[in-house]
């Protein structure tokens, strides 16, 4: 089973949970977000004859933030000047979103599509973030902005982050803004990282800090990563940290793979393993891939089976990858929920052979239309 180191990986997708306890308003917003994600995944693969139709669907999404996401993604599928016009349309919608949290998120999405006005729009996103009542959401918005802001705006974000009263949220947020902090404060944050409640957020904060720490402090960061109890969080942290420890790089990647294999869900396990499998000796790599393919095939949940198989396929030789992607496609087609089937099909398109892509784009669109049919 020969590996293919530089295979194209399909985009990740968020999967919708059960809707039984949702209000009608919540379900409509959730459906709109599922459609927006589907449109975003398909945007780069739309044939000319479907672009205008998909744009019409995007404009009819009732949830404003979902509409912004869909329009922002579609902008890159159209030539100028329409691409910029769509960015402007998305910006106008984003500015009228009442929720500060959703407005900040939407403005970030738009900023990435309007390079000439990126700083201006990021400034608006930062202003919206500052007004978010929830400290948790405010901290998340600031963390999302951290890597995008120019230095002067990043310094304003630091002031906002320091004002957050919740220790866990404040530490996480400042870790992402670490490039604008003095070394002494970065070292203090490293000691505070264990107070971040969510282990996935803790691992991300830890990785953001590690890149900025002096060499003598990186060992402490590594021990903090080893203290994570959640297998997926620890595996991701150890694998990413390996580059900072050249003499331990191989051992750390082996350690990351070992922890990843403790992740109970086959799809989540595949997501982590594919990032590290190429660092393994060929025999070990092939054995792990065979085990993971078997586990994925035995998964009863069709959406997760499709996504797990598609991720693992990117680690295989060309012929094996093609066969496994067809299995993933078969699983996606078996999904009963129209909206979810559309979203999973869309997530597979980029990893399928060129000759199949137009067909699957049409299938995803048909599923979207069945979901919204009266």
Tens of each residue's pLDDT in the chain, 374 residues: 544 333 222 233 344 333 334 443 455 568 899 999 999 999 999 999 999 999 999 999 999 999 999 999 999 899 999 999 999 999 999 999 999 999 999 999 999 989 999 999 999 999 999 999 999 999 999 999 999 999 999 999 999 999 999 999 999 999 999 999 999 999 999 999 999 999 999 999 999 999 999 999 999 999 999 999 999 999 999 999 999 999 999 999 999 999 999 999 888 999 999 988 888 899 999 999 999 999 999 999 999 999 999 999 999 999 999 999 999 999 999 999 999 999 999 999 999 999 999 999 999 999 999 988 77
> For tokens 């293919």, what's the residue?
4
In a domain, 148, yes or no: no
In a domain, 199, yes or no: no
What's the CA gap between 292 and 306, in Å, rounded?
13
As a 3-state breakdown, the chain gives helix, strand, coil percent values, each rounded to 5, of 75, 0, 25
Nearest CA to 164 out of 156, 149, 174 is that of 174
CA angle 81, 83, 84 (to 5 degrees): 70
Buried b (16+ CB within 10 A) or exposed e, 240-257: bbbebbeeeeeebbbbbb
Domain boundary, last residue among 74, 105, 133: 133
What's the CA gap between 252 and 151, in Å, rounded?
34
> For tokens 């979103």, what's the residue?
97
Written as six digits, the tokens of 91 are 């910006």
Considering its fold, how many domains does the chain have in total?
2
Kindly give, in sequence order, each residue whose CB lies less than 8 Å from that of residue 177, ignoring residues fewer than 6 positions away.
142, 143, 146, 154, 157, 158, 161
What's the CA gap between 124 and 109, in Å, rounded?
12
In a domain, 86, yes or no: yes
In a domain, 33, yes or no: no
In a domain, 205, yes or no: no
Q: What is the pLDDT of residue 25?
A: 45
Q: What is the pLDDT of residue 30?
A: 82
Q: Are 234 and 226 in contact (CB under 8 A)?
A: yes
Q: What is the pLDDT of residue 29?
A: 60
Q: Are 125 and 108 in contact (CB under 8 A)?
A: yes
Domain boundary, last residue among 133, 161, 186: 133
In a domain, 262, yes or no: no
Q: What is the pLDDT of residue 52?
A: 94
Q: What are phi and psi of 77, to 5 degrees?
A: -90, -10
In a domain, 77, yes or no: yes
Domain boundary, last residue among 133, 153, 174: 133
Instruction: Give residue 97's domain range.
Output: 39-133
In a domain, 126, yes or no: yes
Kindly give, in sequence order, each residue whose CB lies less than 8 Å from that of residue 84, ignoring residues fewer than 6 positions away.
75, 114
Instruction: Enter the pTM of the model.
Output: 0.86
Nearest CA to 316 out of 342, 292, 343 is that of 292
């Amino acid at each position: 089973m020969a590996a293919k180191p530089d295979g194209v990986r399909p985009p990740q997708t968020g999967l919708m949970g059960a809707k039984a306890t949702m209000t009608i308003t919540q379900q409509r917003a959730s459906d709109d977000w599922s459609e927006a994600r589907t449109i975003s995944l398909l945007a780069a693969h739309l044939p000319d004859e479907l672009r205008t139709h998909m744009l019409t669907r995007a404009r009819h999404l009732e949830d404003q933030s979902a509409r912004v996401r869909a329009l922002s993604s579609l902008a890159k599928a159209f030539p100028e000047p329409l691409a910029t016009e769509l960015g402007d349309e998305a910006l106008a919608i984003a500015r009228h979103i009442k929720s500060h949290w959703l407005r900040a998120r939407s403005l970030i999405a738009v900023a990435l599509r309007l390079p000439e006005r990126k700083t201006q729009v990021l400034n608006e996103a930062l202003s919206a973030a500052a007004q978010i009542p929830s400290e948790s959401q405010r901290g998340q918005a600031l963390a999302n902005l951290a890597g995008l802001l120019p230095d002067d705006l990043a310094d304003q974000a630091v002031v906002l982050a320091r004002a957050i009263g919740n220790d866990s949220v404040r530490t996480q947020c400042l870790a992402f803004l670490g490039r604008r902090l003095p070394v002494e404060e970065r070292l203090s944050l490293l000691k505070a990282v264990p107070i971040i409640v969510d282990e996935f957020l803790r691992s991300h904060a830890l990785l953001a800090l590690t890149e900025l720490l002096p060499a003598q402090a990186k060992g402490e960061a590594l021990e903090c990563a080893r203290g994570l109890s959640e297998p997926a969080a620890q595996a991701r942290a150890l694998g990413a940290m390996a580059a900072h420890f050249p003499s331990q790089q191989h051992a750390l990647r082996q350690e990351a793979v070992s922890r990843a294999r403790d992740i109970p869900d086959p799809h989540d396990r595949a997501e982590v393993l594919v990032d590290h499998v190429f660092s393994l000796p060929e025999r070990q790599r092939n054995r792990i891939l065979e085990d993971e393919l078997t586990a994925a095939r035995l998964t009863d949940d069709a959406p997760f089976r499709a996504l797990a198989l598609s991720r693992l396929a990117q680690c295989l030789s060309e012929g094996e990858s093609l066969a496994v992607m067809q299995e993933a496609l078969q699983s996606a087609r078996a999904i009963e929920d129209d909206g979810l089937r559309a979203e999973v099909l869309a997530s597979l398109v980029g990893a399928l052979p060129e000759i199949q892509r137009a067909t699957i784009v049409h299938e995803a669109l048909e599923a979207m239309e069945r979901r919204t049919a009266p």
